[in-house]
Amino acid sequence: MIPEIKKIDDTTWALDEGGVRFFLLAGSERSLMIDSGMQTEDARGIAEEILTAAGAPHGEALVLIHTHADRDHIHCSDQFPWFYMHPAEATNFYGTKGANGEMHAVWDDEEIDLGDRTLRVIEIPGHTPGSVALLDEERRRLFSGDSVQDGRIFMFGPQREMHAYRASMEKLMWMTDLFDIVYPSHGSLEVKPELIEQLYDAAGRVLAGQVESREGEMFGHHFRIYDCGCATFLGEAGDQ
């Protein structure tokens, strides 16, 4: 499929598949793709066209980072000679998903320099062990992957952990003075930083058994649905 291209500004684009979106950021020396979709067959080719038209760095200057290794974020990773990813995602990427490619490890507080634009890596485990967000500090934007969103947050299945997720939301709460807008991979294209505290509180209520749930099923997986108002958590089937 060909994703809908949504221009955020002259150097930032969202590529929206409907169910998931990924992002393209241009700097003066390099460009960065944040995730690579699930159904898009030529994410790199589409990115090259956008960057060429914008007069932005492309070709070997275009690099990829995975916010995490769930299947809907890594489809076109094999179009890149290597990619950035947190090492805690290696089991998910290479083992569970059976994907291939050369990982360049990124760690908390590491910076990815695009020239006149620097992205800061923020570890936010919980949704997956190696989930990261990217802070575009100069433009005061946070690219949050799946963890900060107003849609459905998957918290069932191997390696997902609600206590860790809540701790990550607390971490981000202390950083909200650094960004004015959040760009998630699901749900609304833009959400306010205030959502982070709401997600922290909602996760706490789920853990305390204070949110009523109902049963759900997807692709043979059974889970509990917790509608918290600000977002919906999909939790383990055994949870009540």
Over its C-alpha atoms, the chain yields an Rg (Å, rounded) of 17
Q: State residue 69's pLDDT score.
A: 97
- The rounded distance, in Å, linking the Cα atoms of 125 and 146 is 11
The reply to whether CATH 3.60.15.10 applies to domain 4-144+161-193 is: yes
Q: Residues in the chain with pLDDT < 50?
A: none
Query: In three state form, how does the secondary structure of 174-209 look?
Result: CCHHHCCEEEECCCCCCECCHHHHHHHHHHHHHHCC
- The rounded distance, in Å, linking the Cα atoms of 110 and 68 is 16
Q: State residue 98's pLDDT score.
A: 83
Q: Is there a contact between 102 and 122 (Cβ–Cβ < 8 Å)?
A: no
Q: State residue 238's pLDDT score.
A: 66
**C-alpha closest to that of 116 among 14, 13, 25:** 25
Q: Taking the model in full, what pTM does it have?
A: 0.96
How many CA atoms does the CB half-sphere of 100 hold within 13 Å? 3
**Amino acid in the structure at residue 172:** L
